[in-house]
A and B are shown apart, each in its own frame.
Chain A
Amino acid sequence: MKTMEFPFEKRKCEILKRAEEKTNPAWGKAPEQRTVQELLDYGIIVLNKGAGPTSHQTVDTIKKILHLEKAGHSGTLE
């Protein structure tokens, strides 16, 4: 069976190191350590949109639930 892959999944690349440098733990934060509060500004949700509401309505509903001023979606599903 042929593999079902996107072009980016077929990339054969390695990570090239240009410098030996460390990051200072005092600045910034690794994404996996973000709190729920922080993710409300720097997060995404992978939603299973059902047949009822439109993509736009879905975003509006999420904004209401999470009390967000801004949110967007990845392309209409209509």
Chain B
Amino acid sequence: MTGVLVIALGKATRIVEVLLKAGKEYVCLMHVHTPVPEQIIRKTLSGFLGKINQIPPKRSAVKRQLRTREIYYLQIIEIQGQDVLFRVGCEAGTYIRTLCIQLGKALGTKAHMQELVRTKVGTCTDKEWHSLHDLKDAWEDNKEGELKKMLLPYERAVEHLPKIWVSDYAVDSLAHGAFLSVPGIVKLESDIEIGNTVAVLSLKNELIGIAMAKMNAEDMMSQKKGIATGETKVFIERGVYPKYKKNE
């Protein structure tokens, strides 16, 4: 399999945990083992949206038990005889190899995944990818302009998450592991619900950390105090913002 692989660098390395859970898009070439009328292929594939059940394949790292994953969209690009090229957007952890087997069954025959290219991880797409070769060249020739195009701020990796922005004075205590209490919030996205994984940002849009919302957006706006988010997975370095001393 080939395609979009997002690499997190240095201190940003842990951000891959967020990307592992982000939605993915693939372009897949599926081969159907016996001839099936095009109309039937189109009809069957268009019905494969929403939640599906899958058992991870033998060669996988996870427990082989039935689990549910969501197909967000599935669009046929081209059908040539028994070869079907399609684009699929799905929840993290969806096995496309298994999906092809399932599609084959639904078509009343068998099918297998012939080729797979990943075209999206979260908001990172094949429209902005670079090859290892280009990276090596840009680095070795010290092409700063090129490098600045290839090395993106790691905040891109949380672009798909709901966000909360906090006051400059809340940053350092968050960086030390404090929970976010409501008075530290400056702005927030209106659809945040309890249990959501949120990105906590500074007013300069720097990523402070990732946390789970303990309140919904409405309460974060209206409450005068209380814990807005739980334990923060901290990314910002301590000391970048000053410690806030009350009554200074």
| B13 proximity list for chain A (CB < 8 A) | 70-72
B interface secondary structure, majority: mixed
Structural contact, A23 and B9, CB atoms closer than 8 A: no
| A21 proximity list for chain B (CB < 8 A) | 167-168, 186, 203
Structural contact, A44 and B9, CB atoms closer than 8 A: yes
Structural contact, A13 and B7, CB atoms closer than 8 A: no
- C-alpha spacing A40/B148, complex, angstroms: 11
Nearest residue (CB) in A for B17 is A72
Structural contact, A6 and B23, CB atoms closer than 8 A: yes
Structural contact, B10 and A68, CB atoms closer than 8 A: yes
Structural contact, A40 and B9, CB atoms closer than 8 A: yes
Structural contact, B186 and A44, CB atoms closer than 8 A: no
Structural contact, B131 and A48, CB atoms closer than 8 A: yes
- C-alpha spacing A64/B162, complex, angstroms: 35
Structural contact, A45 and B131, CB atoms closer than 8 A: no
Q: Which of A40, A44, A47 counts the most B-chain CB atoms under 10 A from its CB?
A: A44
Contact partner, B168, options A15, A23, A40, Cβ 8 Å? A23
**When each residue 13-47 of chain A gets 1 if its CB lies under 8 Å from chain B and 0 otherwise, what string results?**
11111110111100111111010100111111111
Given A49-B3, A50-B131, A73-B16, A27 contacting B87 (CB threshold 8 A):
no
Q: Which A-B residue pairs are the 8 nearest by beta carbons?
A: A31-B153, A23-B203, A41-B10, A74-B19, A74-B6, A39-B151, A13-B191, A48-B129
Which residues of B come within 8 Å of A, CB atoms? Answer: 1-16, 19-20, 22-25, 72-73, 75, 87, 89, 92, 118, 121-122, 124-126, 128-132, 135-136, 139-140, 144, 147-148, 150-157, 160-162, 167-168, 171, 185-191, 202-207, 217, 220-221, 236, 240-242
List 15 contacting pairs A-B, 8 Å CB cutoff, sorted by A: A4-B87, A18-B187, A19-B185, A19-B187, A24-B168, A28-B202, A29-B206, A31-B207, A43-B8, A47-B5, A48-B2, A50-B2, A66-B9, A68-B10, A75-B121
